[in-house]
Structure 1
Amino acid sequence: MLSDQTADIGRIKQSSKSLASIHREFTRNANPAEGLGVATLGDQGLVDVFDELR
Structure 2
Amino acid sequence: MADRLTREKRSWNMSHIRSKDTGIEVKVRKFLFSKGYRYRKNDSKLPGKPD
TM-score (norm 1): 0.32
Larger relative contact order (CA 8 Å, sep ≥ 6): 1
Between Structure 1 and Structure 2, which shows a larger proportion of helix residues? 1
